[in-house]
Every structure is written in C-alpha cells, then in structure tokens.
Structure 1
Amino acid sequence: MTGTDPQLARTALEVAPLLLGTVLTVHRDGSAVAVRITEVEAYEGESDPGSHGFRGRTARNASLFGPPGTLYCYFTYGMHHCANIVCGTEGRASAVLLRGGEIVAGEQRARERRRNPARARDLANGPAKLAQALGLDLSSDGMHLDTQYPGTRPAGTGHDGGASPGPRATLSPLPALAPSGVKTGPRVGVAGPGGSTDYPWRFWLDGEESVSAYRAATPRRRRKPAGRAAGTD
C-alpha cells in the first residue's frame, strides 16, 4: 500500500464522504488529467445486494477484492467504463464508485477523450464520463494508486513490460473529517433492494454542477417466450 492514505483501510461507508473534495490525478499517454471528486457511492461486498461482490469473487471482479488503493474498473452496458477505489481490507469487496467530479487539470485532454462537450460541467458529471475523461478503462483495472503497476511488473515499466513508463494514478490526502455540505441518498440506477432507500449510500457535495442527476433503476422487462400468446399458461 505504498503511497496510499491509510484511511483507505476503512469501510466504504467511512471512506466515501472523505473522498469528496479530494483530487484524483491519472497520468497516461504523456498527459495528466485531474478531477476533484464531488459524488461517490459506497458498496460493501457480500453484505450489499447492490455490490458486484455480493455473490463472491470471480475473474471479472477480482480487483474488487484487492488491497485498499486498488482501482477496480469494469465495462457496462456494452459501451461504458466505470472506476472504483477499493478500500477496507484485502479479500473483502469494499469499494467506492467515482460518480462525478470537476476537471481541475488537463481539461483539453479530457475534452478530447470526451469528444469536446460544450459545457465544462459535462466533462465528468457521471461515472462513465468521469472514467472516460481520466482515461480509465479495463486496462486500468487492478492498478494501484500512487504506483505504476502492482504484482510482478517492476516499478517504472510500461504495460507491455518495456522501459516506457506506464499509467499511474495519485490521490490527494484524505481529510480527517468529511467536508461541509455533504448530502446522502439512494444509489443511482441500482435495481432491487440495493437501490432502495434502505441503502442511502450515495454521497455528494451540495450545490456542485458536476454532480450527476439522480435516476432510479429501470426494471428489466422479461421477454415472452416465442410462439406463446400473451395471457396464456
């Protein structure tokens, strides 16, 4: 956990409000983009029906069970990437989804990645937008904050094992207390019990333009079996 704030070694519910107002910087492809985090969601693994780790560890969510400070990135809806900061203890799927933020450095590079939206507030006002602006995707999954790459790759080597520096991510120090103006509510777009008011685990800074709009999950409609008329058994 070299270079990682020890406060990440706490539950997602404890870490989530502390992340608000901190700055995450991603260095990639010769440029750096930084976002001031304004909106997050906490997920607590096997005890949380909204978590990707609710049913245990798989090849797809393995990074979610890594040490605190690991980035867990996933691909969703066949088109979007989202990024989480793993916290808690290694082996337990506790993480904070980065839902929204304000780009504070590298705006031009963020605009190129986001195909130049008209308004600055639209650069990272949603989890997929934020990940795209920072250049985080499946190749970033498992990367550790403040390091090059974990595991067997020596520090300072690229993704291909060569001498070129690989991408890295840094997080500014977490405060001792959450900032003022923190609001809480149900998580966005989470179906089932995990998206109910029993889980007000979305945290955001009140009055920030970069906070995404709330929307409840849209229930998936079951397709009728082929060849059967509606209303028949």
Structure 2
Amino acid sequence: MAEAAPLIDFSASSVEVARQLIGACVRVNGVGGRIVETEAYDREDPASHTFSGPTPRNAAMFGPPGHAYVYRSYGIHWCLNFVCREVGHGAGVLIRALEPIAGLDVMRQRRGVIDERLLCAGPGRLCQALAITREHDGRALDAPPFELQPETAPIAVVVGPRIGISKAMEMPWRFGLAGSRFVSRPFRAV
C-alpha cells in the first residue's frame, strides 16, 4: 500500500508554509502547475495587508488556514495567497510563480502568449493563466476548484528578499525552487 503524501501544515508560520509549498502542485479547475516561487507575509510585517488589522478586503487572510486570499494589486492584477496560522492571526503566502504543467493550451489562450516561461512567472500572470478572481477569495484549498498536492521528494530551495517591498526589506521571506527557469525574477543573495 502506498503512503499518503504529507500534508502542508497551514497552521504553521507563513515562512514555514512558504518553504513547504515549493515543489507542490496546484491546479484550479484542472489547470495549473508546480509552485516554484513564494513569499511569506505576517501581521507583524509592515508589508503585509494584515499589518493594520482586519478590513473587508483582507478578511480572508484572518480566516481559517488552508484557504485562499485573493486581492487586486494596483487595481490591475489578481494575486493568490494561501492563508496560514490560526484564525484571527492574519498571515499568508503569496504564490509568485508556477512551472506550468496542466492545461498549457488553456493558459496560452488566457494569457495570449506562447512561451511557457511567461505563462505563470509573476503573481498577476499566474492568476490570469489560472483564471483566479475575487470569486476564489476565502475558498478552501482542499476542495474544488482547487487541487493541491505537496511535493514528496527532497528539493533544493533558494531564499532571498521579497520583490517590490520597501517596508521590511531585510526579511529573506522569498523562496524558490533552485535552478527553476520559471521564477518571476532571478534570486539574489540575502
């Protein structure tokens, strides 16, 4: 009998979950791929949407762990986060990039590009490719339309500072799959 894949512990800190998610596969309505880049956010972090407390916009991030928090960035792009920690804490992991695996033709149509490296490299591109919208905000990650499968094999993870953050820049809370050509930007030393 085969062993069940280890589950991702969404009750853990956002930094721990951000690391655990590297290599996991996520699909939305069957379209998706391998997570190759994440960023951690916590309520103690001035760059986090939860730093100033709950609002109607960020309510899902204070909700139960293992759910989606979806918001618009700069009023243009949707961004997908996975909620961590206990209810009321306000922590999550931004999914920055995927290696496209399932539904590439659908992704190409949604994104209007052919190059698979440009399909899901960046949170806005990723959400467009997977058709993530505000409708997904607060939805459980272990139920349709989501499918999440943890990585079971050992993988090498690189760490660096988050992208586009002017507050709390010194925090090395960006994680990536070592050597992946699908990350949104190359990693630099911390």
Q: TM-score, normalised by structure 2?
A: 0.90
Q: After superposition, where does 1:169-184 map in structure 2 within 5 Å? A: 169-173=146-150, 175=152, 179-184=154-159
Verify the 8 A CA contact 2:72 2:78 in the aligned structure 1: yes
Once the two structures are aligned, what percentage of the paired residues are identical?
41
Count how many residue pairs are aligned between Structure 1 and Structure 2: 182
Structure 2: stretches of 5+ with no match in the other structure? 1-5
Structure 1: stretches of 5+ with no match in the other structure? 149-167, 216-233
Aligned counterpart, 1:37: 35
Verify the 8 A CA contact 2:32 2:98 in the aligned structure 1: no
Provide the rounded CA distance (Å) in 1 between the counterparts of 2:25 and 2:151.
9
CA RMSD of aligned residues (A): 1.8
Aligned counterpart, 2:3: none
Aligned AA (2:75): G
Aligned AA (1:7): D
SS of residue matched to 1:188 = coil
Aligned counterpart, 2:133: 137
Provide the rounded CA distance (Å) in 1 between the counterparts of 2:9 and 2:179.
26
Provide the rounded CA distance (Å) in 2 between the counterparts of 1:78 and 1:42.
21
Q: After superposition, where does 1:74-93 map in structure 2 within 5 Å? A: 74-93=71-90
Verify the 8 A CA contact 1:7 1:174 in the aligned structure 2: no
Verify the 8 A CA contact 1:5 1:174 in the aligned structure 2: no
Aligned AA (1:127): P
- Residue among 114, 118, 126 paired with 2:114: 118
SS of residue matched to 2:126 = helix
Are 2:66 and 1:73 aligned? no
Are 2:123 and 1:127 aligned? yes
Aligned AA (2:56): A
Residue 109 to residue 118, structure 1, CA distance change in 2 (3 Å): closer
Q: Rg larger in 1 or in 2?
A: 1
Higher relative contact order (CA 8 A, sep 6+): 2
Q: TM-score, normalised by structure 1?
A: 0.74
Aligned counterpart, 2:14: 12
